[in-house]
Structure 1
Amino acid sequence: MKTILAIDTVTSAGSAAVCRGTKLLSESYFNTGARHAERIMAAIDRALIDADVALEEIDLFAVTRGPGSFTGVRVGMAAAKGLALALNKPLVGISSLQALAMNAAGCTDQVCAMLDARKKEVYAGLYHVRQGHFCACCPEQVASPAAVVEQISEPTLFVGEGAMVYRELIESALGTQARFVEGSLNWPRASMAALLAAADGQMFEPCDARLVKPVYLRASEAEIAWQKRRSEEALQG
């Protein structure tokens, strides 16, 4: 059985977890807002200590690759890639939305994982359980919450901070077809990413850490500003 270290920093929360096979050994979790770059290495150390596992014993690294906070995604990717490359171990990128949906494991209804993308939009993924695994019903998307809700026509369990922010809108549109999880289940967890990496090797194929790419779903503010300047320069031409 592979020993896996997983890292998640894509939202205001962050965590590191260690599992052996599909057995979760430990998880170190914090939800204190920003400053993930200052906290994630301490969380990794704590998870390893609690699991009684040395860093050199890790067979596989896993990281939530987004979507989520641009800064958060970059922090997690940098930490995971750095460790994997230093130890010459493989790395697997896990969808943060699928990891979030795993918080609703056991649900027989459709699951909608929803993270707040700001600008009155959400990152969203729709999933069904098939043979014990969460299977995507459609590609992950960034859209207005109303546009996501329009795609739903069956009982659905909503999970994620995006669902918390737009709960009133969702309930108004779907009524009793909408259910919600509560509390800390609304944030992705490294433990769920670790278990996905352990259980779904065919779906999440480990590879050279240098090949694992973040998933943002939309351009960053810096990219948007750069594209705007290029367009203005071209017009002035």
Structure 2
Amino acid sequence: MKILALETSAKAVSAAITENGVVLASGYQDTGLTHSRTLMPIVKHLFQNTGIAPQELDAVAVAVGPGSFTGIRIGVSAAKGLAFSLDKPAAAVSTLAAMARNAAFAGGLILCAMDARRGQIYNAVFSAEGGVLTRLTPDRAISLAELAEELRPDARPKIAVGDGARLCADFLNQTGIPCQLAPPHLMMQNAMSVALEAEALALEGRLVDAQALLPVYLRPPQAERLRKAERR
């Protein structure tokens, strides 16, 4: 199964093509340029460098959230357009579930963390055993204090991944809950893990059509929050 995966949930942007769990090509950029400017050139180079035609894809995958509101919209729009034009199914991948795959090799608890500001992180907790991940919580916005109290009774080793990993690990360690950081090259979100999660969704029969591909926001956008505040 050939999958094109896109990851635009945070500051960096990446894309990858995988086949049956093997990464054929990937591209990653973290230069501060907007995803609308960098994403599609990366995708174009992947097709050129692999010799794979877009029509050969079996699915288009994208991290649908949580994450940057603008970044997620760009990624989902691009994936929706590609899937629609190619008449291919799509995989709506949780950003947090994808990043958990970065550390699936480690035993214990995988703490997926993205800085959600306002004293919270976007988080999901997975257990890892023998490379197999089991989801323990839904994707959520949670305060670090709440997460610490939830994890305190669990003695299993803990490893944090994601662009909020350092924030999460520092807080937990300061409160007496040992937590390690994933290695630097595995810490951040990346399209390769999005593709691997998409393969799992495909095996479960959970691919969707392009029309059903939508962003997932755990909190309303800031502009909406400001409008509500002004009406009060």
- For 1:193, the equivalent position in structure 2 comes to 194
Identity among equivalent pairs (%):
32
User: 1:65-118 deviations in whole A, cap 9, x for unaligned?
Assistant: 110111110110011001111111111111100111111021111100101112
Aligned to 1:76: 75
Between 1:10-19 and 1:199-208, the stretch displaced more is: 199-208
In structure 1, what is the equivalent of residue 111 of structure 2? 112
Q: Of residues 165, 178, 196 in structure 1, which corresponds to 2:167?
A: 165
Partner of 2:218: 217
SS at the partner of 2:107?
A: coil
Residues 94, 193 of structure 1: 8 Å contact kept: yes
8 Å Cα contact 1:110-1:128 kept in structure 2: yes
Show the 5 A alignment for 1:57-206: 57-129=56-128, 132-152=131-151, 153-154=154-155, 155-175=157-177, 177-203=178-204, 205-206=206-207
Deviates more, 1:57-66 or 1:164-173: 164-173
Partner of 2:227: 226
Does the 8 Å contact 2:67/2:95 carry over to 1? yes
- Runs of 5+ consecutive residues of structure 1 not aligned to the other structure: 233-237
Matched pairs, number = 229
**TM-score of the superposition, structure 1-length normalised?**
0.90
Mapped to 2, the partners of 1:39 and 1:167 lie a distance apart of 31
* Equivalent residues of 1:123, 1:140 under 8 A apart: yes
The residue type equivalent to 1:212 in the other structure is L
The answer for the alignment partner of 1:207 in structure 2 is 208
Is contact 2:161–2:182 with CA below 8 Å preserved after alignment?
Answer: yes
* SS of residue paired to 1:191: helix
CA drift of 1:129 comes to: 2.6
Q: Residue deviations 1:21-51, cap 9 Å, x none?
A: 1111010111123401100001111222232
In 2, Cα distance between the equivalents of 1:136 and 1:214?
21
The answer (yes or no) to whether the contact 2:160–2:168 under 8 Å persists in 1 is: no
Question: Over aligned residues, Cα RMSD in angstroms?
Answer: 1.7
Query: Judging changes above 3 Å, is the alpha-carbon distance between structure 1 residues 90 and 197 closer, same or farther for their aligned structure 2 residues?
Result: same
8 Å Cα contact 1:92-1:204 kept in structure 2:
no
- The whole-number CA distance in structure 1 between the counterparts of 2:128 and 2:167 is 25
1:112 aligns to what SS in structure 2?
Answer: strand
Question: What is the aligned partner in structure 1 of residue 6 from structure 2?
Answer: 7
List runs of 5+ in structure 2 lacking aligned partners: none
